[in-house]
Amino acid sequence: MNTLPLLLYAAAGVAYAIHFARRDTAVGRTATTLLLFGALVHTFVIGMQTMEVRHVPFANPSRAVSTFVWLFTLSYLYLELTTDERAMGVFILPLIVGLQTIPALYPGMEYQDAVLDSPWFWVHVSSLLFAYASFGLSGILGLTYVLQFKEIKKKHLGYFYTRLPSLQVLDVMNSRAVAVGWVFLTFGVIVGGVWTAQARGIDPTDPNLQAMSLDDPKIFVAMLTWGVYSFSVVARRTLGWSGRRAAWLSALGFAFAMLNFLAINYFVTTSHTFY
């Protein structure tokens, strides 16, 4: 079910790459159209799965990845359509295609745990997925900032100089993406905490709930990620950490987020296993 969006994303990725290399606007428009179409089909897939299990599918890691990819695609499309800037697509699409491969290969079954039967769960996970999508954008924006910065600083105006947006635009977009992501991350973590406390009152024996503490790698890395982005938000305002420093921070933060979302989610976590 997740294969069709994957194929459309892959086609869009190829078109974005050709558009980036040749700077051909017609190809660029094709790329955007393919991506829009992919997102539309993906929306349909997620809608079907939601109807099937009666909540947005994200308790199973593979389905959560699919939902994340969907949110990430929509966030990127929002950025592209509001700024009329297509150059980032070539960096975003490999991530989208790579991640979407996981649910396409391992669809996974959504398991219904009684403890998940709560609006808190929905709010908690969707906030965090949206935060990760923003961080994904900021990470890519950071990476491109560094590429552009290098060429201008070293006076080798080459491949990226002519294709990427200005440093200022990249920096401002990055700072906004980090700020939005930070707000959702903070909110999602708080909701998670409140929900855990409530759920313990209902079912104190649930092993998942027993494991909810900083000893759990997933929660630990989540707090670490929160720390990186909090520092980034504060440092920009007080220490003047904008530009390249902010760019590296957002790349680092996103690396943590992905580590948590993929490696730890699949293999290490002791809590958060609802399947």
Question: Where do contacts with other proteins occur on this chain (CB under 8 A)?
Answer: 148, 152-153, 155, 157, 161-162, 165-169, 239-245
Structure tokens at 114: 């009684």
**Shortest Å distance, C-beta 139 to other proteins:** 21
**Shortest Å distance, C-beta 240 to other proteins:** 3
On whether the CB atoms of residues 145 and 243 are closer than 8 A, the answer is yes
**Shortest Å distance, C-beta 91 to other proteins:** 18
Structure tokens at 32: 């955007």
94 vs 243 by CB, closer to other proteins: 243
HSE-up (13 A, CA, CB side) for residue 132: 29
54 vs 155 by CB, closer to other proteins: 155
200 vs 245 by CB, closer to other proteins: 245
110 vs 171 by CB, closer to other proteins: 171
**Shortest Å distance, C-beta 241 to other proteins:** 7
Calculate the CA dihedral of residues 63, 67, 73, 74 and round it to 10 degrees.
Answer: 160
On whether the CB atoms of residues 164 and 170 are closer than 8 A, the answer is yes
HSE-up (13 A, CA, CB side) for residue 53: 21
**Shortest Å distance, C-beta 242 to other proteins:** 5
> Which of 37, 40, 42 is CA-nearest to residue 12?
37
Query: Distance between CA atoms of 26 and 32, rounded to whole angstroms?
Result: 10
33 vs 166 by CB, closer to other proteins: 166
